[in-house]
Amino acid sequence: MENYPIVPGRGLVTPYSTKLRQDYLDEQGYSTTHIAASGLLHSDIQNKIESYIGSVEIPIGLVGPLLHIEEDGKEWVYAGAATLEGALVASMNRGAKAASMSGGIATTFVHQKMSRCPMFIFNSTADAGTFYNWLPDKFEYIKKEAQKHSNHARLLSIEPVLADTVVHARFFYRTGDASGQNMTTTCTWHALLFIVSHFTTETGIAIKNYVIEGNGSSDKKVSSYSVENGRGVRVMAECYLKEAVIENVLRTTSQDIVNCFTPSVALANNDNMFSYNINVANTIAAIFAATGQDLGCVHESSVGMLHLEKTDDGLYISLVLPTLVVGTVGGGTSVPKQKEMLELMKCYGQGKLQRFAQLIAAFALSLEISTYAAIVSGAFAKAHEKLGRNKPVNWLTRTELNQSLVRGIMGSVHAEYASLNVSFVEKEMENGIITNLTSKTSNKLIGFFPFTATGPQHNLSLLIKSKASDQDIIKGLHSLAAAIEPALSDLIYAYRNHTEYYNCHLKELFIYEDLHNSGFCITPKYFGKKENVQREIYLLAMEYLQSDAMHLFNTENKPEMWRLEDVKKVIEAITKIHQHYYSGENQVPDHLIRRFDPSQLVPLYEKLIAIILKEEASSERSGQFKKLPGFLKDITQSIENSWPVCVIHNDFNPRNVGIRSNAEVCIYDWELAVKNIPHRDIVEFLAFVLVDRNDISVLKENLGLHADIWGKNLEDNEWLQGYVYGLKEFMICRMSFYKVSEILMKLKFPDRVMDNCFAMLSHIEAMIEANKRYE
C-alpha cells in the first residue's frame, strides 16, 4: 500500500522521538495528555519498549504483614499489589491476617526450569528418526555451545519428541534469578545452529527446515506437560488455620468450608477444569504488574492446585504453583518503581528468585483463604449485591461542574456572586470515611471539589460538596459490613430507613441554608445549594476551610490540643444552635429531620454488640463491654422525662468541629443531624477531647456550663440523667459501629473514646447518687 502512514521515530526511545509521536497523534485527532504525563525516564526503559508515547498508572496497595515461616525462623513480609479491582487488596490482607494469627504460612521451593523447544523438519521419517537418536548422544557438546552465550543459563536436558517427519527438541535450562525466556532463546538459537551444522556434516542428512520454537515449550500457555515436567518455578505454600481464627477473622467455620470444597472440586474434575483454585490469577497479575514481570506469563503462572483438609483444630490448606515464571533480574525489574516494589519484598537482584517465588505463593494462598471463606460465609455475594433500584440516572458529570453551574448556585444567595470568575483547582481532597465507602459502590460524582471565585471585590477559596444520597451510603455500609459478617449487612439494609443516615443528602443542605438565613456564623460560610431529585444531584457551595487559617482542625486524635476555654466555646456555640431549633418557630418538619429512636433498631445494635463481645472476649476491656447489652435495654425503654428535644449535630467530635485562628468556633458536616436531646452532642464531644478521664472537676465544669445555659444545674438529677442517656446512646448507636469497623480498618480513637465514656458515665452516676443523699 503506497500511502501507508509512517509514524515518526519508530526505532527510537528518546524525548525527541516521543514528542514527535505524541504530536503525530495530536495531528490525527487523538489526545495523549494524560498518557504523556509520565514519570518514567527514557534511559530507564531503553530496550524495554518501542514507539514509546507515555505510560498508564495502576495503583499499588500494600499487602501484609504476613508471617512467613522460613528455615531459620519467621519473618513479617509485605508485597505491593497493582490493581484496579476494588476489595482485592483488602481480601489479600484478611487472608494474611488469618494465616498469620494461626502461626504463619510455610513455603517450599521445589525447582526452577525454563524451556525452549525448537522444531526440526526432515524429508522423511527415516531422516527424522536418525536425528532423534543422534541428538541425545551430543548433549554435552550442545550444552557447552549453548552455555557460551550466557553467564547464568545452565542446560539441564534435551528431550526429543518424534512426530512423523518432525522432531521437537525440548531444551530445559536453569536460568539463575532471571525468568529466562530471552536467555533461553539466545542460548537455544546458537545451540540450534551448532546442531544443524554438525548433524549434516556427520550424517550427510539435510534438515529441510528448522525454527527456534515449535510451540512445544508452552511459552505463555498452559499445558499438562509444563505442569508435570516443569516450566518456571514450582513452589508450594501451606498453613494450618485455627478454628478460632476461621470464626473470628474469616467469619465462617472449617466444617462449612470443607462441606463446600469437596463437591466443588468434584464438579471441577468432572468439567476437566485445569487445576483447582479460587482466584490465584488475581495475586499473580497484581504482583507481576507491581514488580516488572512479563505480564504475558500471567496465564501460565496462574495455574494453582488448592488443597485443604479438616484438622482437629481447624484446617490444613496448601497451594502449589507449578509453573510460576518470574525473575528478580532482567526485564522490567530494574525500572525504578518496579525495583522499589521488589526491594519492599527483599527480592531484588541476584540470589532472590527463590524467596520471590515463595512469597508470591504465600500471598496467593492468603487470597485463596480469604476469598473462599467469603464465598462460603456469603460475604462474597453480599459485597457484590446490588441494592435498591438499578434504573439508570443521568448523574452529574465532571464537565457539568463548571463556571456556569457555580455562578448559578452562588447567584441564588448573593446576586453579586453571579458574575465572579470561577476556576476549579486541581487538588486531591481528603474525603471522609462515609464518602470513601460510598465511592466503592457508586459511580456518582461525589466528594469535595475546590475552586476559586474572583472579581473586583472578591477573592474566595470555596468548595463544592457533592453529596451522596442516603441509599448510596447504605450501600457502602452494606458492602463494608459484608466483609465483617453477612448477617450484619442484612440488618443494615433492613433498618436503613431508621438510621441517622436517612435523608442525609437533604439534611445538611437544609441546615447550612437555615443557619445562614438565621444569621449564625458558626458553620463554614454558605454560598448556595443545588438540588435535582430526578438526577440525584445534591450540591453545597461553601467556604474552603484551610488548615493554616485554623487554630484547631481535624483533631479527633489530638485531645491534648484542646484547652478548657476552647471546649467551653464549643459547648456555648452548639447550645445556641440547639436552642435555636428548640424554639417553636424554628421547628424542622419531621419528614426532613426526624426524632432518632434506637428502639426501632434493636436487632441491628444487638448484632453489633455481639460482634464486639466476641472480638473483645480476651481483652482487658471485656468487662466494660459486657455492660453494653444493659445499655441497649436502658436506651430503648420508654422513660418519661422533661429533656428538651431539638435538632442536634449527632456527629459532634473534633473531626467536624474546629476553632478558627480568630478563636471563632466552626461546625461542619451536618449530614447525620437528627432530633434528639442536646446532651447527646455534649457527651460525644467531651468523650473525644477529655485528656484526664479521672479529673471529675473538668467534667463538672463543662457540664455545669451546659446546664447553666439551659437554666439547669448539676443538682438536678433528671437533667443529669440526660447525660447518662446520651452516653449510653452514643456508645451503642455510634461507637459500636466504629468498634466493629476496626475488624477491617484500625482507627486510633475508639478505645480511648470508649474509656472516656465509661469514666464519664461513672462520674455522672456518682454525682446522681451524691445528689440523692442530700435530698
Active site residue ranges: 85, 294, 384
Rounded Cα distance, 212 and 222, in Å: 19
Exposed/middle/buried for 405, CB within 10 Å: 0-12, 13-18, 19+? middle
Residues 6 or more apart whose Cβ sits within 8 Å of residue 225: 218
Q: How many CB atoms lie within 10 A of CB 443?
A: 7
Q: Grid coordinates representing 429?
A: 481532597
Tell me the Ramachandran region of residue 733: left when phi exceeds 0, alpha when psi lies from -120 to 50, beta otherwise. Answer: alpha
Instruction: Establish whether the linkage from the previous residue to 589 is cis, with ω within 30° of 0.
Output: no
CB atoms within 10 A of CB 94: 25
Cα-flanking dihedrals φ and ψ of residue 366, to 5°?
-60, -45
What does the alpha-carbon distance between residue 644 and residue 722 come to, in Å, rounded to a whole number? 10
| Strand ranges for 218-369 from DSSP E | 232-242, 305-311, 314-324
Angle at 654 between CA 528 and CA 740, to 5 degrees: 105
C-alpha to C-alpha distance for 47 and 12, rounded to whole angstroms: 10
Q: C-alpha grid cell for residue 186?
A: 539466545
* Residue 66 near residue 101, CB atoms below 8 Å: no
Contact 246, 254 (CB under 8 A): yes
Strand partners, 76: 67
Q: Label residue 2 exposed, middle or buried (CB < 10 Å: 0-12, 13-18, 19+).
A: exposed
Q: Which amino acid is at 755?
A: D
Q: Answer for the pair 59, 89: CB distance below 8 angstroms, yes or no.
A: no
Contact 171, 118 (CB under 8 A): yes
Beta partners for 233?
112, 324
Q: 97, 403, 43: which is closest to 245 by C-alpha?
A: 97
| Residue at 688: amino acid letter | F
CB 435 within 8 A of CB 365: no
List, edge to edge, every strand of the sheet that includes 421-424.
Answer: 421-424, 447-455, 458-466, 537-543, 526-532
What's the rounded Cα separation, in Å, for the pair 664 and 550? 9
- The rounded distance, in Å, linking the Cα atoms of 374 and 359 is 23
With b meaning 16 or more CB within 10 Å and e meaning fewer, what string describes 14-44?
eeebbebbbebbeeeeeebeeebebeeebee
CB neighbours of 744 closer than 8 A, spacing ≥ 6? 90, 94, 480, 483, 484
Phi-psi map region of 180: left, alpha, beta (phi>0 left; psi -120 to 50 alpha) = left
Taking a C-beta distance cutoff of 8 angstroms, is the pair 550, 661 a contact?
Answer: yes
Measured distance CA(401)–CA(605) in Å, rounded = 40
